Amino acid sequence: MQPWTLALCAALLCGCAGPSPAPRAAAPMVFHDQLFQPPAAPVDTSHIFEVSPAMRDYLGREIGHGLSHKDPRRELFDALYRKDKLQLEYDSAMTRNAAQTFAARAGNCLSLAIMTAALARELNLVVQFQQVDVDESWSRAGDLYFASNHVNLALGRQRLSYGEGYSVDLSNSLTVDFIPIPPKARETARPLEERTIVAMYLNNRAAELLSQVKLDEAYWSARKAVEQDPGFLNAYNTLAVVYQHHGNLAEAEQVLRYALSQAPANTIVLSNLAQALEAQRLPGKLAEAATLRARLAQLEPEPPFHYFNLGQEAMRVGDYRRARDLFAREVDRVPDYHEFQFWLAVANYQLGNLGEADAHMVQALANSTTRGDHDLYSAKLDRIRAYEAHAAGK
């Protein structure tokens, strides 16, 4: 089976913003509730930015005492991200709401941004989200491939209430970067409304539920994401992938055609629509799919994971030298993706290149984004080093 591609949103902190475009109504043909089991409870969005008592206690204990003397934005950032304070851990395994992220002391980038925004608002700070145009980062889970975009958050100064209105100061907003952001990308960042952030959260949850084969729950979360922000096209794509995995190929095609009409050059939607057409195995659909594949080849001659997939095929037939060379090409393109480094280490191990295997496994461990991957790579590194020590002692 060819991989289906989803688009997720990883959030970073940075930037400032202006108004967002007006919302659009969802295309009415995209929902087919009758195909899925009703949810046990409606998908709830009210909890996403909710501040727990433990979060309020932490704010009062760590920064409440100094607000009259120091910049509360700086105090908040130090309280959250200094190594001797909350000690948050990056974990991409699940998108959590604000309270869950705080309780776990861990989350992916979107979760960390949501938690930071919730705490900032508790301090009466102005919060503004924005999208930054940087290259998508990719990951995978089985036959699902995920493209992650970056969202920023700027912390403005405290609101000053004047009757029914507010004085909002976004000048000198505090910029926090978790990864280096190119200056041009920062200058061209686009503002995002909170409804889009909520849609991103729901879309991420839908994709995570889909990867767990919880198709009914994934449908309702993706549906809610589309309703929350009809202009957020990633949610339509996720909805279509849910339909496909549920066996509803015509419905998947329908949603993808709508998404493609809104973004004709979107390679993720193009790829998924081609696959939806191919899966129906009808002559007319296959011909159209071939046309889409040709267009994709022009837009993206070497798509993400291209050499990785070829390397996996080489590993399956025991051609470790070819696999090593293919994995090395992916590492050259994306050196900080842990799975590329891991498989390059495995190929080198099979070839007896223990030093190279050790070096690439170290990189896989350093770039791991979940606790499970971290533990796996750590165990593999121990095994390589034990074998190295055994070989040296002979």
Assigned token pair, 360: 């690439």
Q: Let me know: does 114 contact 197? Beta carbons within 8 Å.
A: yes
Q: Quote the CA–CA distance of 283 and 278 in Å, as a whole number.
A: 9
Q: What's the confidence (pLDDT) of residue 88?
A: 81
**HSE of 35 in the Cβ direction (CA atoms, 13 Å)?**
20
Q: Quote the CA–CA distance of 355 and 359 in Å, as a whole number.
A: 6
Chain centroid, CA 55 distance in Å: 25
Cα-based angle 198, 166, 188 (whole degrees, multiple of 5): 50
Q: Let me know: does 291 contact 272? Beta carbons within 8 Å.
A: no
Q: Quote the CA–CA distance of 144 and 238 in Å, as a whole number.
A: 11
Chain centroid, CA 374 distance in Å: 18
Q: What's the confidence (pLDDT) of residue 26?
A: 65
Q: What's the confidence (pLDDT) of residue 126?
A: 87
Residue 97 zone, left/alpha/beta (φ > 0; ψ -120 to 50; rest) = beta
Q: Quote the CA–CA distance of 82 and 253 in Å, as a whole number.
A: 48
> What residue ranges do the domains of the chain occupy?
4-245, 306-393
pLDDT in tens, the chain (394 residues): 456 555 544 443 332 233 334 446 666 689 999 999 999 999 999 999 999 999 999 998 888 755 556 788 888 888 887 777 787 887 777 899 999 999 998 888 888 889 989 999 999 988 888 787 776 777 777 778 777 777 778 787 655 444 433 333 445 566 555 556 677 766 676 778 999 999 999 999 999 999 899 999 999 999 999 999 999 999 999 999 999 999 999 999 999 999 999 999 999 999 999 999 999 999 999 999 999 999 999 999 888 888 999 999 999 999 999 999 999 999 999 898 899 999 999 999 999 999 999 999 999 998 887 788 888 889 988 888 888 777 777 6
User: What secondary structure letter does DSSP report for 28?
Assistant: G
Q: What's the confidence (pLDDT) of residue 140?
A: 75
Supply the DSSP string of 169-183, one letter for each residue. Answer: --TT-B---SS---H
SS (H, E, C) 243-256: HHHCCCHHHHHHHH
Q: Quote the CA–CA distance of 7 and 119 in Å, as a whole number.
A: 27
In terms of C-beta density within 10 A (0-12 exposed, 13-18 middle, 19 or more buried), how is residue 365 classed? buried
Q: Quote the CA–CA distance of 114 and 117 in Å, as a whole number.
A: 5
Cα-based angle 303, 308, 313 (whole degrees, multiple of 5): 120
Q: Quote the CA–CA distance of 86 and 9 in Å, as a whole number.
A: 24
Residue in the structure block whose two tokens are 């990883």: 10
Supply the DSSP string of 268-314, one letter for each residue. Answer: HHHHHHHHHHHHHT-HHHHHHHHHHHHHHHHH-SS-TTHHHHHHHHH
Residue in 362, 361, 365 with CA at minimum distance from that of residue 344: 361
Q: What's the confidence (pLDDT) of residue 164?
A: 38
Q: Quote the CA–CA distance of 260 and 170 in Å, as a whole number.
A: 36
Residue 352 CB partners (closer than 8 Å, separation 6+)? none
Q: Which string of b and e fits 84-116 if b means at least 16 CB within 10 Å?
A: eebebeebbebbbbbbbbbeeebbbbbbbbbbb
CATH topology of domain 306-393: 1.25.40
Q: How many helices (H) and strands (E) does the chain have?
A: 16, 8
Q: What's the confidence (pLDDT) of residue 176?
A: 54
Q: Quote the CA–CA distance of 95 and 134 in Å, as a whole number.
A: 21
